[in-house]
Amino acid sequence: MKSLIAVPVLGLALFLSSCDKVPQVELDNANVAINEAKMAEADVYLPTQFAALEDSMRVVMADIEVQNSKWMKNFDGVRTKLSNLTSMATTVKANTEAKIEEIKNEYQTAFAEVQQMIVDNKALVEKAPKGKGGREALEQIKGDISVVEISAAEAQSLFDAGKYMDALNKINAAKTKSVELNTELVEAIAKTTKR
Amino acid sequence: MENAKKALVEAGSIHAEKYSPELVKQAEEYYDLAISNWRTQNEEWFFQRDFSRTKNFADLSEKAAREAIKEAIAHEANLSETLSSELTELRKKVKKSQFLFTSFPFNNDLKKNFTRGGMMLSEAELDYQKSDLLNCKTKLARAKNLIDESVKSAISILKNDFRNYNNWIALKDKTISWSKANGAYACLVDKYNRKCYVYKNGKLYSTYSVELGPNWVGPKRQSGDDRTPEGMYKVTKKKSGVHTRYYKALLINYPNEQDVEDLKNSQKKGILSKHAKSGGLIEIHGDGGKGFDWTNGCVALTNSDMDKIYSISYVGMPVNIVGSLTSLNEILSGL
């Protein structure tokens, strides 16, 4: 009697154990790809895209447990999602690298512009003794130019340390100030020329 | 679990982790606990599984995520409005205060701090445009500190420099009274406004624009300080032709007795070196019209104005020099 019960029970156990298993390889690949995106600083430069990766991983983990809850497990859907997630993470990593290059190029352009404006503004100061209401105004402009120089050097330090967004922000602020000074000086000289 | 997942995704989409980091962390931890518990229960035999703890953790996760979302939305809206207002106010303050640093000869460090503050403000404005509110807040605070401290220091220096304002007004009245009582010409130089007023019989006869020494604020203390003196002086000599290199000149009696006494007192207090000298050769002279303060302490006029003043001046003519006939309150009224 016992053997009559044991056979179907054993058969059932064997059947259950042959159902689909958690796609561990695909899961590991997805985790590696997400990690690589993070190492590339996707969370810094493309935070929305990186957050989407983490959200997608949560969805997949939940789907895994949904399948684990079932008698008849089928991880095909999970495999597909993991494969897509791995692809997505690779794309995000590439997008991050492209974004960083874009920021670096933007920074280098702005830095070169600021350096040129510093030279131009110093030359304009020499030509602009009048129209500014006093020597104090010119001294202030000279002081401002030296602050721009310091700020540009600080921006370069940030750039060299790999803090590209901070560097870009700082150099853009320096550029704004340089343009302001240049406009002031050009207008002052123009007034003098018209007299 | 589905609800908890949706709540976490929603929290991520509005970057709730920036505004409510603790709640978001809590939500994520509960979610991880829910998943972990779910996994553990799934390893049990079907009839032994108990998902009540899984559900409990999922509920806690959803609750924390929703609270984070609510807090983040309120915080971000509030922060955005506050920062917008503060950025505008500080930019206005920079525009209004700029004149202080272009009108008065403050030291370079003070001026540079003001400029640094202005540039930090530009960085904060760029962060705001990119909706990076937390970085904007940090930079705005630093900018405000630099700008406020610079303006405060500048005003403090000016308050000290303008402590003699009442005396200056009294000296103006004295100049006019003397001119009226003596039926004669008298000069009054207003350094801040860069004007030389000539009175005749107590009435304003003419006004001329002047240029001064670059370090013009405050009385002249010693030789080489590039300051135009303040006080009561008289013309001691008229010079023209080969006797002056500045077209025409009126030498005044600087240092007077008060200047000599002030120098001695400053030396006694250790403010000035015992080797310091008053200097001299302070004149009203020509070759002005350069548009900035360039003299070594003299009062410069254009040659055509110098001709006019030279023609009416005489040895003994009063030349009284004051810091400003405009009060500091009036100067700072725009701030």
What percent of chain B lies above the pLDDT cut of 90?
80
pLDDT greater than 80 at residue B271: yes
pLDDT greater than 50 at residue B82: yes
What percent of chain B lies above the pLDDT cut of 70?
100
Q: Do A147 and B112 touch (CB under 8 A)?
A: yes
pLDDT greater than 90 at residue B142: yes
Structure tokens at B33: 């606990």
Of A10-14, A87-91, B18-22, B93-97, the range with the lowest mean pLDDT is A10-14
Residues of A in contact with B126 (CB under 8 A): 169, 172-173
CA B83 to CA B130: how far, in whole Å?
Answer: 13
pLDDT for the residue A3: 57
Residue A144 contacts B where some CB pair is shorter than 8 Å = yes
Of A47, A131, A147, the CB nearest to B116: A147
Strand partners, B252: B235
CB contact at 8 A, B217 and B105? yes
Write out pLDDT tens, residues B94-116: 999 998 988 888 888 899 999 99
Nearest CA-CA distance, residue A146 and chain B, Å:
8
DSSP class per residue in B278-307: -----EEES---SSS--SSS-EE--HHHHH
Mean pLDDT, residues B187-205 taken together: 97
CA A151 to CA A129: how far, in whole Å?
Answer: 26
Residue A6 confidence class, pLDDT cut points 50, 70, 90: low
Predicted-complex ipTM score: 0.72
Which residue of chain A is at minimal alpha-carbon distance from B36?
Answer: A65
pLDDT for the residue A5: 60
Q: Look over chain B and give the mean of its residue pLDDT values, rounded to a whole number.
A: 93
Residue B13 contacts A where some CB pair is shorter than 8 Å = yes
Mean pLDDT, residues B284-303 taken together: 92
| A8 vs B29: which has the higher pLDDT | B29
Helices and strands (DSSP H and E) totals, chain B: 10, 8
Q: Do B35 and A61 touch (CB under 8 A)?
A: yes
CA A136 to CA B214: how far, in whole Å?
Answer: 8
pLDDT for the residue A18: 46
CA B66 to CA B27: how far, in whole Å?
Answer: 9
Residues of B in contact with A131 (CB under 8 A): 291
Q: Using alpha carbons, select from A114, A137, A113 the residue that is nearest to residue A188.
A: A137
Residue A131 confidence class, pLDDT cut points 50, 70, 90: very low
pLDDT for the residue A136: 66
Indicate the helix (H) or strand (E) that contains B334.
none
pLDDT for the residue A2: 59
pLDDT greater than 80 at residue A186: yes
Residue B313 confidence class, pLDDT cut points 50, 70, 90: very high
Mean pLDDT, residues A156-174 taken together: 94
Write out pLDDT tens, residues A15-72: 555 468 999 999 999 999 999 999 999 999 998 899 999 999 999 999 999 998 888 8
Mean pLDDT, residues B78-90 taken together: 96
